[in-house]
């Protein structure tokens, strides 16, 4: 059943860009080179926005191209890279020039921060990260404390609450229900942590098909504000089962992406 | 024993496969360690729970390693393992992992985040990722270092993603992971040396302690002339590696042959295989 017109959450990329305010924290879903919202990131990279606060659990090409286009002021992450295909060229270059402010998490700490935001709590306790240098960086948001019940040393992890989360999915309907067939990474926590959620979808369908729900992740419309139909929206990342990663394009990007003229042309087509 | 010729990568996979116990996750964060978990499940630990690049296809049967893993694992995966559940498994010591470290130090500190100063690194790597978490979940953290050098084996890591000896007062019920086994292109090591420092367990065939010491950035205890030699892979292990878990030879990506050219070649062959399948 198609949603009535007034219930449709369908928007386009320019409307998505208009949702982003100057000091907003924008977060991206997916992980490394899997199911990355590359088309959405390219739309932001082409806009007049700059100085963004960005979060990505396991960052890949989406944050790398935004860094390359000088759109990111500060990045919250547990990982940025191209998985088995190597390092992220602009992230690497910007950090080595001292141009990018970062807040470094571990995977467990970032999931805990999203969960604290989703539960609207001032912090959640964690053991993950204790005793490591993550606690001592100049931008660390974690604070060590004694458990009031047992005395054990723990870390207080404050919420990480994005103003806007952008997640790429396989299928969505106009009401915002969606399916993710591949690894969902931290995306379910992310959509519950964020104030606003935009899904980019390979397909917008009249009704979510039931046959693949067994191992797939279902995103409820109650978490979703807007959907954008974006076939191929994962760029050269893999979107199972729709398409594999595009290795020639990945290698081409890694070779050329620190050249701003090349990158501008690349995002014009993404 | 075997007299068959084998490569360094095959030796490493076979040795790494000996570190898994059953009824738990076996995760390899590098190609060689991933293959070692598959070899262990095939020959030694049939109830090992494999997850590779996609948690959506978890606990599969043993398949040949591919670049696009999800497409092959999907056929036999039992479940989608969401990350929240996975981190509860980690908290309950169900994870066994080989981590590909960039720096390791004398007491088992590890680093994959930055080289140099964190504020403005000489080399920005990938970020701490899961090491600070695995540290408070696993019993032991095993490390795989591809190239043994004074840059990879250092007196003190530049950024502590994982520590060796705990810097914290012991409190509560949780104990951090101990540094476990380290494998490089020269030998196998552990942290059973004086005051929990690194020592030689075995040297790979043909490697001398003098070479290892020369390529290590801190002093190692001399294991003496009777030092063990890392066991060569058996013919059964070689058969499984070559015919079952890695017929296309992805293990070569982590050898001196590795690079974009080999990767493209493997990728094109994988796509062609799909087209005829």
Contact by Cβ (8 Å): B270, B68: yes
Q: What average pLDDT does this structure show over A150-174?
A: 97
Query: Which chain A residues are Cβ-neighbours of B68 within 8 angstroms?
Result: 238, 244-245
Compute the distance between CA of residue A198 and CA of residue A220 in angstroms, rounded to an integer. 12
Q: Would you state the pLDDT for residue B167?
A: 85
ipTM metric: 0.95
Q: What is the pLDDT of residues B146-197, one digit of tens each?
A: 999 999 999 999 999 999 988 886 656 678 999 999 999 999 999 999 999 9
Question: A103: which 2 tokens?
Answer: 């807040």
* Interchain contact, A215 vs B31, CB within 8 Å: no
pTM: 0.96
The alpha-helical segments, DSSP class H, found in chain A are: 13-18, 38-46, 61-68, 89-96, 107-118, 187-193, 247-256, 260-269
Q: Would you say residue A104 has pLDDT above 70?
A: yes
Other beta carbons within 10 angstroms of residue A107's beta carbon come to: 27
Tokens of A187: 């995306």
pLDDT at residue B83 tops 80: yes
Task: Return the top range by mean pLDDT from A74-88, B1-15, B72-86.
Answer: A74-88
Residue-averaged pLDDT of chain A: 95
Name the least confident of A95-109, A207-221, B101-115, B218-232: A207-221
Question: What is the pLDDT averaged over residues A133-151?
Answer: 96
Asked whether residue A5 carries a pLDDT value surpassing 70, the answer given is: no
SS3 label, residue A10: strand
* pLDDT for the residue numbered B277: 47
Q: Do B119 and A189 touch (CB under 8 A)?
A: no
Q: What does the pLDDT average to over B70-98?
A: 92
**Block residue for tokens 């919250």:** A76
B-contacting residues in A 201-260 (Cβ below 8 Å): 215-217, 238, 240-241, 244-245, 247-248, 251
At B9 the pLDDT is: 98
Segment A93-107 shows an average pLDDT of 97
Task: State whether A241 and B57 contact (CB < 8 Å).
Answer: no
pLDDT at A54 (0 to 100): 98
B77–chain A Cβ distance below 8 A for any pair:
yes
The pLDDT tens digits for B41-82 are 999 999 999 987 778 889 999 999 999 988 888 889 999 999
Q: Does A262 touch chain B (CB under 8 A)?
A: no
Whole-angstrom distance, CA of residue B13 vs CA of residue B88: 28
A106–B174 CB contact, under 8 Å: no
Nearest CA-CA partner of B136 in B90, B173, B101: B90
Across A90-112, average pLDDT: 98
* Residue A4 banded pLDDT, cuts 50, 70, 90: low
If you average pLDDT over residues B216-228, what whole number do you get?
97
Contact B87 A188 (CB under 8 A): no
Q: Which two tokens stand for residue B210?
A: 């003098």
pLDDT single digits (tens) B120-149 = 999 999 999 999 999 999 999 999 999 999
Q: Mark yes or no for CB contact A188/B82 under 8 Å.
A: yes
Q: Could you report the per-residue pLDDT of A29-64, keeping only the tens digit for each? A: 999 999 999 999 999 999 999 999 999 999 999 999
| Least trusted range by pLDDT, from A12-16, A167-171, B50-54, B86-90 | B50-54
- What is the residue-averaged pLDDT of chain B? 93
Whether the predicted pLDDT of B1 surpasses 50: no
CA distance, residue A15 to nearest chain B CA (Å): 31
- The share of chain B scoring above pLDDT 70, in percent, equals 96
Annotate B128-154 with DSSP letters as a single string. Answer: -TTHHHHTTT-SEEEEE-SS--TTTEE
Element (H, E) at A200: strand A196-204
Span B227-239, average pLDDT: 98
Q: What is the mean pLDDT of residues A198-225?
A: 90
- Cβ–Cβ contact A18 with B under 8 A: no
pLDDT greater at residue B173 or residue A94: A94
Per-residue pLDDT tens digits for B234-256 = 999 999 999 999 999 999 999 99
Q: Which domains does chain B have, with CATH numbers?
A: 8-276 (3.40.1080.10)
The first and second tokens of residue A239, run together, are 């979107």
* Cis bond before residue A25 (omega within 30° of 0): no
Of all residues in chain B, the one with the smallest CA distance to A109 is B133
CA–CA gap between residue A167 and residue A110 (Å, rounded): 16
Helix (H, G, I), strand (E, B) or coil at B266: helix
pLDDT for B2 equals 47
Cα separation of A224 and A230, whole Å? 16
Helix (H) or strand (E) holding B27: strand B25-28
| pLDDT tens-digit map of A163-193 | 999 999 999 999 999 999 999 999 999 999 9
d(CA A242, CA A123): 38
In whole angstroms, what is the distance from residue B13 CA to residue B15 CA? 6
Q: Which residues contact A9 (CB under 8 A, 6 or more apart)?
A: A3, A174, A175, A176, A221, A224, A225, A226, A227
Question: Nearest Cβ partner of A128 from B55, B113, B133?
Answer: B133
Q: Quick check: A185 and B83 CB within 8 A?
A: yes
pLDDT at B56: 82
B8 interfacial to chain A (CB closer than 8 Å): no
Looking at beta carbons, which pairs linking B194-198 to residues 24 or more positions away fall under 8 Å?
B194/B221, B195/B107, B196/B107, B196/B108, B196/B164, B196/B165, B197/B106, B197/B107, B197/B221, B198/B104, B198/B106, B198/B107, B198/B108, B198/B153
Q: Are A56 and A62 in contact (CB under 8 A)?
A: yes
Look at residue A53 in the predicted model and tell me its pLDDT.
98
Torsion angle, alpha carbons of A6, A10, A12, A14, to 10: 60
- pLDDT at position A212 is 64
- H helices within chain B, ranges in order? 8-16, 31-43, 69-73, 83-91, 131-134, 209-214, 235-239, 260-276
CA–CA separation, B79 and B97 (whole Å):
20
């Amino acid at each position: 059943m198609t949603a009535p017109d007034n219930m449709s959450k369908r928007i386009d990329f320019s409307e998505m860009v208009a949702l982003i305010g100057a000091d907003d924290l924008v977060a991206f879903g997916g992980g490394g080179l899997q199911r990355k919202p590359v088309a959405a990131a390219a739309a932001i990279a082409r806009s007049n926005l700059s100085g963004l606060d960005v979060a990505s659990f396991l960052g890949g090409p989406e944050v790398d191209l935004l860094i390359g286009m000088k759109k990111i002021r500060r990045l919250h992450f547990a990982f940025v890279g191209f998985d088995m295909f190597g390092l992220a060229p602009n992230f690497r270059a910007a950090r080595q020039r001292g141009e990018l402010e970062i807040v470094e998490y571990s995977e467990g700490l970032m999931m805990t921060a999203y969960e604290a935001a989703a539960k609207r709590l001032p912090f959640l306790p964690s053991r993950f990260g204790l005793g490591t240098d993550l606690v001592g960086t100049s931008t660390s948001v974690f604070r060590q404390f004694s458990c009031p019940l047992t005395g054990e040393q723990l870390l207080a992890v404050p919420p990480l609450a994005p103003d806007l989360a952008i997640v790429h999915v396989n299928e969505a309907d106009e009401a915002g229900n969606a399916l993710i067939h591949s690894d969902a990474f931290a995306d379910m926590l992310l959509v519950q942590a964020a104030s606003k959620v935009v899904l980019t979808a390979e397909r917008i369908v009249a009704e979510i098909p039931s046959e693949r729900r067994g191992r797939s992740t279902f995103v409820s419309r109650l978490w979703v504000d807007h959907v954008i139909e974006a076939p191929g929206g994962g760029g050269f990342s893999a979107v199972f089962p729709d398409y594999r990663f595009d290795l020639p394009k990945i290698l081409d990007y890694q070779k050329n992406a620190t050249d701003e003229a090349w990158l501008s042309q690349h995002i014009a087509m993404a | 024993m075997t007299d068959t010729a084998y490569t360094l990568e095959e030796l490493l996979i076979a040795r790494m496969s000996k570190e898994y116990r059953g009824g738990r996750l076996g995760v390899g964060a590098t190609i060689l360690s991933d293959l070692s978990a598959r070899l262990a499940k095939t020959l030694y630990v049939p109830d090992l729970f494999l997850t590779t690049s996609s948690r959506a296809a978890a606990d599969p049967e043993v398949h040949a390693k591919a670049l696009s893993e999800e497409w092959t694992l999907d056929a036999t995966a039992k479940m989608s393992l969401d990350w929240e559940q996975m981190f509860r498994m980690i908290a309950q010591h169900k994870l066994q992992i080989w981590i590909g470290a960039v720096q390791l130090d004398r007491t088992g500190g590890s680093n994959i985040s930055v080289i140099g100063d964190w504020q403005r690194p000489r080399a920005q790597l990938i970020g701490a990722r899961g090491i600070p978490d695995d540290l408070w979940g696993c019993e032991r953290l095993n490390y795989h270092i591809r190239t043994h050098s004074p840059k990879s084996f250092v007196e003190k890591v530049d950024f502590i993603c994982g520590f060796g000896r705990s810097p914290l007062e012991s409190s509560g019920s949780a104990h951090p992971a101990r540094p476990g086994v380290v494998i490089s292109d020269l030998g196998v090591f552990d942290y059973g040396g004086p005051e929990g420092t690194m020592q030689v367990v075995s040297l790979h065939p043909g490697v001398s302690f003098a070479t290892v010491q020369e390529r290590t950035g801190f002093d190692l205890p001399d294991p003496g002339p009777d030092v063990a030699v890392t066991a060569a892979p058996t013919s059964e292990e070689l058969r499984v590696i070559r015919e079952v878990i890695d017929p296309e030879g992805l293990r070569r990506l982590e050898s001196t042959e590795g690079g974009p050219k080999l990767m493209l070649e493997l990728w094109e062959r994988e796509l062609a295989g799909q087209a005829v399948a």
